[in-house]
Amino acid sequence: MQLSVIILAAGQGKRMNSDLPKVLQPLAGRPLLEHVIRTARAIEPENIYVVYGHGGAQVQAALPHESVDWILQAEQLGTGHAVMQAMPVIPDDHRVLVMYGDVPLIRAETLTKLLAATDDDSMALLSTKLQDPAGYGRIVRDPGGGVRAIVEHNDATPEQLAIREINTGLMSVPAKRLRAWLLNLRNDNAQREYLLTDVVAAAVIGNCRVSAVVAGDAEEAMGVNDKIQLAQAEAGYRQARAHELMLAGATLADPARIDVRGEVRVERDVFIDINAVLIGKVRLGARVKIGPNCCIRNSSIGEDTEIHANCHIDGAVVGDNCRIGPFARLRPETVLHRDVHVGNFVEVKNSDIGAGAKANHLSYLGDAQVGRDVNVGAGSITCNYDGANKWPTIIEDGAFIGSGSMLVAPVRVGAQATIGAGSTIAQNAPDGELTLTRAKQTTISGWSRPAKLSEKDKEAAIDGALQRPKSV
Ligand code: UD1
Ligand code: CA
């Protein structure tokens, strides 16, 4: 049977108390709905329909790259009504998998398990057992263990409220059957809504086999309705990603204190200290060491490189065996070749730094091409911006830039050139020579330090110096 996925994402999410529609609340930096769409895509259905409504344009605009079919639910009259909006475009011979936009941690393997539990004429739902089932729909079974109905929390009797097996919201149903059951839904319940969950009782009456697949991992089935559950989902996501990294061979100083918000690939024996935030596409080569409090985004780090505490690395390609930080910042389009040292309070942007080069203290290298084994002294910077345009700086192999130098771009420093400390270099410096700009050092003999003045003498001195009329 061909598969159509319907993702319900039209609700407002009142319990979030937020101007942002619930399905756009961020989990690991991406909207809840994006997580659900990606998981749906992993099982390769024929179609993915997203039912949207509350905050409509905002929801679509937040996910411009998702090629899904958007179905408008103009009025949010309940989950059953939401599914009904998509049914006109789904053929009778399809299987429908319903997913909820606010159940973001569900795994593709679990969806596959759910689908495997059904045949052409039966339905299956995903349940799980919770210590605290408050708020969820309860799975009511008959004495033989067969599923009889789902009863929403607000409609449940005291005995039903004691049931710990809950509805996760995911169900797999033959389209033809679902269409018929939805047409008979009524809204005579506590919420005055058309509840998708009522199709279970309809299936039982219609002699359709209903099986419940129990998700072993209650965490992946959790619904996100308020900010507390959002934080719990974030913690669940964090833990799952940390486990993946550890299974791939990384040692984590504390698996509870790492945030992976993207696709991170680690090789063997990587060590990551606490509070690392890894965003987007990140690759860490074998034996890379990351110190505490580092943020690394869309970057690749070569093997044996060590990144000390408090570094910020974004859009950089770092070679093997480099030493970075503490407190270094690598900005987009930075390439460090092997054995480069970038030390504390050094910022590098859109620059290519040759093998073995060092900038160990308090430097800015922007739009620079730096050769092999160059040494950039403490406090030296490229002056790459003239207020209107950005200009390049070229430093050839083996050059030595004395501390506190200003390289006013566009400018070239030749191979093996030496720049004297404190120079302002605005013209090209030739290969192999010492170039410097420096005022002659003088000593004023007999000079004495200022003495403390009375308030009156000080005022008079200021008036004189600033050429102000005498104060009265
Ligand atoms: C729902 C289930 C409940 C289950 C729980 C699991 C129903 C009636 N109840 O309850 O059995 O235990 O999820 O997390 O389905 N939505 C629409 N249009 C609407 C209403 C809702 O698209 O008119 C969407 C929401 O955006 C949300 C999802 O459907 O993504 C679920 O709605 P929500 O109101 O959160 O249902 P729950 O009360 O959590
Ligand atoms: Ca919910």
Distance CA 422, CA 380 (A): 8
For the chain, the average pLDDT equals 96
Nearest residue to 379 via CA among 400, 406, 342, 357: 406
Ligand 1 touching residue 73 (CB < 6 A):
yes
Q: Is the beta carbon of 79 within 6 A of some atom in ligand 1?
A: yes
Check pLDDT > 80 for residue 247: yes
Coil, strand, or helix at residue 240? Answer: helix
Of the pLDDT bands very low, low, confident and very high (cuts 50, 70, 90), residue 470 is: confident
Atom of ligand 1 nearest to the CA of 136: 12
Find out whether 246 and 264 touch, Cβ atoms under 8 Å.
Answer: no
For residues 178-197, average pLDDT:
96
Convert the pLDDT of each residue in 383-429 to its tens digit. Answer: 999 999 999 999 999 999 999 999 999 999 999 999 999 999 999 99
Question: What CATH number labels 243-435?
Answer: 2.160.10.10
Kindly state the helix (H) or strand (E) to which residue 161 belongs, with its residue range: helix 158-161
Q: Do domains 2-221 and 243-435 have the same CATH topology?
A: no
Between CA 124 and CA 31 the distance in angstroms is 27
Strands 306-307 and 295-297, bridge-based pairing: unpaired
Report the nearest-CA residue for atom 11 of ligand 1: 137
* Mutation test residue for ligand 1: of 36, 79, 140, the one with most atoms within 8 Å of CB: 79
Q: What is the mean pLDDT of residues 197-208?
A: 96
**Residue 336: pLDDT over 80:** yes
pTM, two decimal places: 0.88
444, burial (CB in 10 Å: exposed 0-12, middle 13-18, buried 19+): exposed
* CATH architecture of the domain covering 2-221: Alpha-Beta Complex (3.90)
Residue nearest to atom 36 of ligand 1 (CA): 79
Q: What is the DSSP string of 13-44?
A: -GGG-SSS-GGGSEETTEEHHHHHHHHHHHT-
Cα of 2 to ligand 2 centre, how many Å? 27
Q: Evaluate: CB of 169 within 6 angstroms of ligand 1.
A: yes
361: annotated active-site residue? yes
Supply the pLDDT for residue 471. 62
pLDDT of residue 472: 60
pLDDT digits (tens, 9 = 90+) for 270-326: 999 999 999 999 999 999 999 999 999 999 999 999 999 999 999 999 999 999 999
Q: Where are the domains of the chain?
A: 2-221, 243-435
Whether 319 is in the pocket of ligand 1, judged by its Cβ within 6 Å, is: no
CA 170 to ligand 1 centroid distance, Å = 10
Pairing of β 138-141 and β 123-129: unpaired
